[in-house]
Amino acid sequence: MSIMSVIGTHLLGFLSYSWSLLVYWLSILFYIPFKNPHILWIIIPIWIAWFFAEFFQEKKKTSFGNAISNGVIPVWVSIDWTRMIISQLTSETLQFGSGIIVKFIICFFVLAYGVVIIIGGIKTKGFVHYFGRTREVTYILAVFTPLIYGVLELDGKFFLAVLVFFPVFYFVIELIDRLTPDPTELDEQEDKPSFSSPSDSPFPDSTPSDFNPSRFDPSSNNTLNLNPPGFNPPNLNSSEFNSPDFSKMQHGRF
């Protein structure tokens, strides 16, 4: 057997396995949930929330408020996963073993991920703009929910498919975001003037260099005009403001 035939055989084997892994990964996201109604009622709200958040709020990046909201979801879902596993153990539906330990570890890491996103959003950390997006949260919940519910077998193929094809999921959604037009709300927010710079402020520009304390010192010889434009104060030394002559007034009777 020649070297080319050996390379071709291994290449075909690699492509065949990659294709089967891709089909398996797609079934995790879009086929297996429809086989179990309990999973379907959990997955459908997750995908609906992802769609509206992804294409109407987070086309470029998520805000701190959205990141906090996104972090609450994995926290709540991981708690529900743990509750379900404990309920199945107490009812003896499941037997405690290494698979249950792995599921508890997954629940813990998903819970920790949500808590980190919430704390990062509250502290306005920059990493939540990218790691706290609804895209990542949706992917984590969508792939691990069938596993926690026991619909998928816990094996190396599952983790390999989840890790290998996550970049595919991420960049396909990113490509769709770039090709689709931005919602009107996002355009309006970008067109709104920002008052972060002094030139955009509606108030007069006032800097410390403009302040002169001598203007308000009575003992100063400063002759600056402090009157507003258009206002001419009367001359108090004119005859109009002299004291009246009471000597010419006649005394009246009461």
24 lies in some domain: yes
Distances (CA, A) of 174 to 16, 177, 179: 27, 5, 9
Cβ 134 vs Cβ 58: under 8 Å? yes
Mean pLDDT of the chain: 76
148 lies in some domain: yes
Rounded mean pLDDT of 137-161?
A: 89
228 lies in some domain: no
Q: What is the pLDDT of residue 166?
A: 93
209 lies in some domain: no
Counted domains in the chain: 1
Range of the domain at 120: 15-171
93 lies in some domain: yes
Q: Which residue has the higher pLDDT, 84 or 201?
A: 84
225 lies in some domain: no
pTM recorded for the entire structure: 0.66
**Would the pLDDT of 194 be above 50?**
no
Tokens of 111: 């819970």
pLDDT tens-digit series, residues 18-44: 999 999 999 988 888 888 877 888 888
